[in-house]
């Protein structure tokens, strides 16, 4: 009897300690962000003094503004040639990359040769149009790939500094599938070192800039892809997502990014990786497109034949979908409230779709449960693990000292990631168990609320694209996105207009596992209602003026 009483008392004490520890951590982190802002904001403004107020060259070729679904049909039916399309995209890349700095390595000549071969095969009439549509739906379409995803013969070091360039010896499974579907790989694009930041810069390629304002970031870690897509230099992109790495760049750049149901797309062939058994619960390779109508096509071509089957061809009426929404993370006070324009835009979307406002109280734990789940995963590839042959492994303390003396090859997130992992080890297991129980409770709540015909509307980020480096005092806000990696739910960032600065605004559409088709159906409807991608301001005054027509 006494043992039972003591055991119960111990559990209550552990829970009380867990809550106190959580409160202290949350207050500390919010205070730290305030202090960081004192240094980050002035530094950001100082570095932007050097950035010229330039705009992109205008888009001249009509081929650059045709969605992939329509472009593929035109190629199959010999209305246009793949070579013409690839040439147009290569020319656009050469125009914009000196300004946005998004390309790590190109394969333009090889892509042109592949396009000519495809045109020859089509001209010979070996396969029928229907057969090409079924077996090679991307035939002749250029595709760009985040550099952290392996493309045979191309650099594949995820922004890390190596004395000897790291070249992919084989294609990632998802790249193989794109090639089998007829896609032509055009280039690999920039990413922060080991994809560890929601901004895109590293010590190899440098900093990628937002096409809507070069003084601002396109987000990260898939910022290279987003910048190319938004500037009209790409149409379809392969990215990755573990904490919003596909969705934040999509929002900041006014395009569409989807995090699929876990394991629906193979996560292999990517840096960083992990042999942790549940790595695929959180991490996935993800599609990013300029047009919402292209998301189902690209995701279908990317889907792992051995993974969960997605019903992407299923016809869906938005009228039959139930909508729910929240415009904050609950009563936690942890994440910043939305900007005025974003708050108005998201509530307008909720009204337009007759969404029911809900109060999922456990969302206030988004930060705690996401950090606990992700930072306790073992054997994640970091700068402290994989090194070049003959090089001594790096240590956390030594690399930290080197960084602050300006001697490290790495960027700050890569350096401090080791400290975060070590910090998580000192947190009592009871705390992690308590947070794990909240995760399971949230999964159940979403499952029951959404069923197989419901979606949840939620902010992607509380503000539109900010100036470079300002993410360092907003490191809590990506939990608006990371929570859905933690819960294993499919989610799409949707473009819903421009704010008063003519910067893109976005919203997340979330569904239950396996219900990706609901997210994509809503995305297509939002594109129809709100217009979707808008040309970034260009040297052509007419294009610049036109971009203001879709303000939220």
- How far apart, in Å, are the Cα atoms of 532 and each of 20, 27, 228, 466, 518? 45, 38, 16, 21, 18
330: left (phi over 0), alpha (psi -120 to 50) or beta: left
Residue 272: half-sphere exposure toward Cβ, Cα within 13 Å:
28
β-pair partners for 411: none
The two three-digit tokens of residue 275, written as one number: 């042999």
Task: Locate the DSSP E strands across 449-550.
Answer: 454-459, 491-498, 504-510
Rounded Cα distance, 43 and 50, in Å: 12
**Does the active-site annotation cover 146?**
yes
| Cα gap 71→323, rounded to integer Å | 33
Choice among 245, 366, 410, 414 that is catalytic: 245
- For residue 308, what are the contacts with CB-CB under 8 A and spacing of at least 6? 261, 262, 263, 264, 513, 514
Question: 184 has which bridge partners?
Answer: 142
167-198 burial, b if ≥16 CB within 10 A, otherwise e? ebeebbbbbebbbebbbbbbbbbbbbbbbbbb
- Does 245 qualify as catalytic in the annotation? yes
Q: Is 234 a catalytic residue?
A: no
Among residues 55, 146, 293, 394, which one is catalytic? 146
Q: Taking the mean position of all CA atoms in its chain, how far away is CA 531?
A: 21
Contact indicator for 134, 128 with CB cutoff of 8 Å = no
For the chain, state the CA radius of gyration: 23
Closest CA to 504 of 515, 519, 494, 490: 494
Catalytic pick from 221, 240, 246, 370? Answer: 221
Q: Which residues are catalytic?
A: 146, 221, 245
């Amino acid at each position: 009897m006494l043992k039972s009483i003591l055991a119960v008392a111990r559990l209550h004490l552990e829970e009380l300690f867990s809550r106190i520890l959580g409160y202290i951590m949350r207050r500390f982190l919010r205070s730290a962000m305030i202090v960081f802002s004192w240094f980050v904001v002035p530094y950001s403004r100082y570095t932007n003094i050097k950035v010229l107020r330039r705009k992109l060259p205008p888009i001249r070729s009509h081929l650059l503004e045709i969605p992939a679904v329509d472009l593929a049909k035109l190629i199959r039916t010999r209305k246009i040639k793949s070579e013409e399309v690839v040439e147009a995209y290569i020319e656009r890349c050469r125009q914009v990359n000196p300004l946005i700095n998004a390309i790590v390595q190109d394969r333009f000549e090889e892509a042109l040769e592949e396009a000519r071969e495809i045109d020859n095969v089509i001209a010979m009439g070996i396969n029928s149009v229907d057969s090409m549509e079924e077996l090679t739906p991307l035939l002749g379409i250029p595709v760009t790939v985040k550099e952290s995803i392996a493309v045979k013969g191309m650099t594949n070091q995820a922004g890390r500094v190596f004395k000897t360039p790291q070249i992919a010896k084989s294609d990632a499974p998802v790249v193989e599938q794109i090639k089998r579907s007829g896609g032509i790989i055009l280039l690999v694009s920039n990413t922060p070192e080991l994809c560890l930041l929601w901004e895109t810069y590293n010590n190899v390629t440098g900093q990628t800039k937002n096409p809507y304002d070069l003084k601002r970031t396109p987000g990260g870690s898939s910022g290279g892809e987003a910048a190319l897509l938004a500037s009209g230099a790409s149409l379809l992109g392969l990215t990755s997502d573990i904490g919003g790495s596909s969705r934040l760049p999509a929002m900041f750049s006014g395009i569409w990014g989807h995090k699929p149901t876990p394991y629906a797309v193979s996560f292999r062939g990517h840096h960083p990786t992990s042999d942790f058994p549940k790595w695929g619960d959180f991490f996935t390779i993800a599609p990013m497109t300029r047009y919402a109508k292209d998301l189902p096509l690209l995701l279908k071509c990317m889907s792992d034949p051995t993974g969960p089957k997605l019903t992407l061809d299923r016809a869906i009426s938005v009228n039959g979908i139930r909508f729910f929404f929240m415009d904050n993370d609950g009563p936690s006070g942890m994440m910043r409230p939305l900007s005025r324009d974003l708050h108005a835009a998201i509530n307008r979307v909720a009204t337009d779709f007759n969404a029911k406002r809900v109060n999922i109280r456990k969302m206030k734990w988004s930060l705690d449960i996401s950090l606990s789940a992700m930072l306790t995963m073992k054997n994640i590839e970091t700068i402290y693990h994989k090194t070049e042959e003959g090089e001594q492994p790096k240590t956390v303390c030594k690399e930290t000292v080197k960084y602050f003396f300006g001697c490290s090859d790495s960027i700050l997130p890569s350096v401090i990631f080791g400290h975060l992992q070590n910090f998580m080890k000192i947190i009592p297991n009871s705390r992690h168990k308590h947070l794990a129980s909240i995760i399971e409770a949230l999964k159940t709540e979403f499952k029951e609320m959404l069923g197989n015909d419901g979606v949840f509307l939620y902010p992607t980020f509380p503000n539109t694209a900010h100036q470079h480096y300002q993410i360092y005092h907003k490191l809590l806000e990506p939990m608006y996105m990371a929570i859905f990696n933690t819960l294993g739910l499919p989610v799409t960032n949707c473009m819903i207009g421009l704010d008063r600065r003519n910067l893109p605004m976005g919203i997340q559409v979330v569904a239950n596992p396996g219900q990706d088709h609901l997210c994509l159906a809503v995305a297509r409807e939002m594109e129809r209602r709100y217009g979707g991608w808008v040309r970034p301001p260009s040297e052509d005054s007419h294009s610049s003026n036109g971009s203001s027509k879709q303000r939220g």
